[in-house]
Amino acid sequence: MDYSKLGFQTRQIHAGLDHTPATGARGVAIYPTAAYRFKSCEYAANLFNLTEPGNIYTRLQNPTSSAYEERIAALYGGVGALAVASGMSAILIAVTALAAEGDNIVASPYLYGGTYNQFRHSLRRLGIEVRIAAGEAPEEFDKLVDGRTKAIFLESMGNPTCAVLDIEGIGNVAKKHQVPFIVDNTFGAGGYLCNPFEWGANIVVDSATKWINGHGTAMGGIIVDGGNFDWGCGRFPNVDGPSDGYHGLNLWETFGPAAFIAKCRVDGLRDFGCCPSPFDSYLMMLGLETLSLRVRHEVESTRRLAEFLRSSQKVKRVSWVGFDDSPYFGNARKYFRFGSSAVLTAELQGDVETTARFVEALQLAAHMTMIGDSITVVTHPASTTHKQLSEADMEAAGVTPTLLRISLGLEDVEDIIADFEQAFAAAGL
C-alpha cells in the first residue's frame, strides 16, 4: 500500500502491517529465529548474491524487524530503513559506510557526549578524521570541507543544549560539495516533531530507544535513507563501483535510490553484527502506534515546566526553544512541529554540590541518562553523558556544572512541578 498520501498518525499505526496472515492476526508477529530454511541451493545462492530478496539470517534481516523498518520508512518518507541495536551503532554503520582511512566528516559542535567520544576516539582509531565546526553558521561547516570529506553530520536539536541549527542552510553546504548530509533526529521524535528530509537531509539516524519506543523498555537505533543523493557523482566508489564482498556487484546500479541503505545492511550488519532482537523490534512497533499522542502531551508539559522554572529564583537560566527570546526560536518554528520540543535545560543557582542534592531529592522525576521516556527524566550531563569530554569540548557543547537536561514524561505536569519544588527545598536552594 502507498502510505505517502496518509497522515502521520495513520502511518504510525498501519504501515508495516501484513494484512494477509493465515491467522488473521491484527498485530505483528514476533519471529524468534536466528536462521531460515532455504527452498533450494539455487535460491540460497541468489540470496547471498543479492539477486533475489528473502531472509538469510537474523543478523541481516528478520520479518518482525522488516515490518518495523517499513513503518519507520513510511513515517519519514524514505526509500528504506534499517533497524540496528542502538543509536550509536546507527551512527557507526552510517559513517563507516561512507568513510574509510584518510577520509573525514564535518560535524556540529552541539553533539551528544557518546557521539563526541565515537567521533573523537573510535573513528580516529579507524583513520577517519572528524572535524568539529567552530560555530553553528553554515559557513563554519563550509570552510572545513575538502576533497576527502564524506559527510556532514548534524543533530536536529543538540543534546543537551537543545540548540537548533540552520538545517536547510547546512544541507545546502553539503549539496554544494556533493557530500551526504546526515542528521541525527533523535530529538525529532521519529519524524513527528521534525523531518530532516524536508530540509535537505539525505540520511537520518535516530536513537529508537527514546521517543520511538517511548517506554524505556528496549534499546534500538534506526537508519533511514531519503533516496535523494546522487551516488553516481563519482565521489563514492564504495556505493557506485564494484563491491569486493559481492563479486563486483554495483549497489547503485542494482538498488538505485536505495543503494545506501542496502550497503548499510549487506556490509554494515553483515560485518559489525549490531542487529536488534525481533522482540525489541516488536516493542518499537508498539511504541510507534502512540508516538504522536505521547509527544503532544510531553511538549505541552515541557512548556508548563519551562514557565515554572523560568519564574523561580532557584534557577539561573532556562533554555527552551519555545520561548520567543530563545536564540533558536526562529529555527525551531521553521523545522519543528509546534515550534517546540519535549526537552529543556535548566541551569540552577548554587554549585555542583547543590545541584547534586537537588537531583537526589527528586521523588517522581527519575535520575537517568534517558530522554523520550514515559517517565520524566532529569540528567546532569557534566557527571554523566558528557563526563568523558575534555573541558574544551564540554564548553563547546554548552555543558556547565549546574546544567540539567529535563525530558518530560506522561505524568500530570502539576505533580512534576510539585516534585521540583520539594527538591529545591531539600537542596537548600
At position 397, the amino acid (one-letter code) is A
Q: Are 178 and 277 in contact (CB under 8 A)?
A: no
Grid cell of 71 as nine digits: 513503518
Residue 3 placed within a domain: no
User: Which of these, 361, 356, 362, lies nearest to 381 by C-alpha position?
Assistant: 356
Provide the domain limits for residue 397.
292-427
Residue 248 placed within a domain: yes
Residue 389 placed within a domain: yes
Residues 149 and 198 in one domain: yes
Residue 228 placed within a domain: yes
User: Which of these, 137, 206, 111, 162, lies nearest to 322 by C-alpha position?
Assistant: 162
Residue 106 placed within a domain: yes
Grid cell of 296 as nine digits: 503532544
Q: Which of 287, 322, 357 is the last residue of a domain?
A: 287
Q: Calculate what percentage of the chain has a pLDDT beyond 70.
A: 97
Q: Which of 270, 287, 304 is the last residue of a domain?
A: 287
Residue 397 placed within a domain: yes
User: Mean pLDDT over residues 15-27, rounded?
Assistant: 82
The CATH number for 97's domain is 3.40.640.10
Residues 224 and 335 in one domain: no
pLDDT at 150: 98
Q: What pLDDT digit, counting tens, does each position of 61-89 carry?
A: 999 999 999 999 999 999 999 999 999 99
pLDDT at 381: 83
Q: Which of 259, 287, 315 is the last residue of a domain?
A: 287
Q: What pLDDT digit, counting tens, does each position of 351-394 carry?
A: 889 999 999 999 999 999 899 999 999 999 877 666 666 767 76
Grid cell of 344 as nine digits: 529543556
Q: What pLDDT digit, counting tens, does each position of 187-202 carry?
A: 999 999 999 999 999 9
Residues 77 and 189 in one domain: yes
Rounded distance, CA 356 to CA 246, Å? 54
Q: Which residue has the cell 533511514?
A: 224
Which tops the pLDDT comparison, 161 or 172? Answer: 172
Count of structural domains, the chain: 2
SS3 316: strand
Q: How far is CA 322 from CA 311, 376, 380, in A?
A: 15, 19, 22
Residue 346 placed within a domain: yes
Confidence class of residue 239 from pLDDT cuts 50, 70 and 90?
very high
Residue 422 placed within a domain: yes
Confidence class of residue 52 from pLDDT cuts 50, 70 and 90?
very high
Confidence class of residue 24 from pLDDT cuts 50, 70 and 90?
confident
User: Mean pLDDT over residues 263-270, rounded?
Assistant: 96
Q: Are 269 and 261 in contact (CB under 8 A)?
A: no
User: Which of these, 161, 109, 111, 115, lies nearest to 137 by C-alpha position?
Assistant: 109
Grid cell of 109 as nine digits: 559542535
Residues 207 and 352 in one domain: no
pLDDT at 385: 64
